[in-house]
Amino acid sequence: MELKINLGLIAGALMLLLPFLGPWWQASLGEIARVRISPFGYEINILGESFSSTLFDCLLFGVKLSFLLGGALLLLGSLFPNKWWSRRFVRFGATKVLWLVISLVCVLLVAASLLNRIVPSLAEGKGKLMFNLPYLSGSSVVEVSSQDVEIKVPLQLSFTWTFWLAVVVGALGLAARVMSGRMKVD
């Protein structure tokens, strides 16, 4: 019983922190372009110019609000495990992190797959382009060459420590949810 409450408490508290701990994943193309994303925000910077999209801004703001609510309810549900609403609160918040982790990984896999197909075709007839985007994390070199110019730019992709913290929080949340099924209700 003690373990169950603590897991929910820890997961809930960390859920309230996660949206403010920065990006979960980042990519850089030399110093030409940089992308940093998390389920709560994104930063796309090309040659010092930041890009934004109202749709994504609003969508991710909604995710952030929903996530914070989930974290607060998980915390409450874990603090008062014997209340009639406890189980519902825990269930509402417990798996949110895990779904966000899975969603982010899926989005990155789909994006890498699409870019690896689309980008090389953009250079057809204009020169030679070697583009091999690593899946999820890793490094490679983008090569562009024409008759007189050859450009090689390092490409680096990596998860940040925040992502791995989210994975841990997701596991804690899942454990809290599994245990909430065995709670006794007043």
Partner 1 sequence: MSERSLQLVLRLVAIFLYLGPLLVAFSVHKGNILAMVVPSREQLDRVGQKMEDLLNFSENVMQKESYRLNENGGEAVVRFANPSPYPILLENFTGYSVCKEHGYPLAWFQLKEKVKIGPGENGRLEILFYPTPGASFHVLLGHLGFWPETEVENGLMEIEMLRAKIKIRVNQHGT
Q: Residues interacting with partner 1, by CB under 8 A? A: 30-32, 46-59, 61-63, 65-66, 69, 73, 84-85, 87-88, 92, 147-154
Output the smallest distance, CB 72 to partner 1, in A. Answer: 12
Least separation in angstroms between CB 150 and partner 1: 4
Sequence-distant (6+) residues with CB within 8 A of 125 are: none
For partner 1, give the closer residue by CB, 124 or 149: 149
Using the minimum distance from each CB to partner 1, give the nearer residue, 59 or 115. 59
Rounded to a whole number of angstroms, the minimum distance from the CB of residue 145 to partner 1 is: 8
- DSSP type of residue 146: -
Distance CA(26)–CA(18), nearest Å, equals 16
DSSP code per residue over 104-126: HHHHHHHHHHHHHHHHHHHTTTT
DSSP assignment letter at 88? H
Shortest distance in whole angstroms from residue 155 CB to partner 1: 10
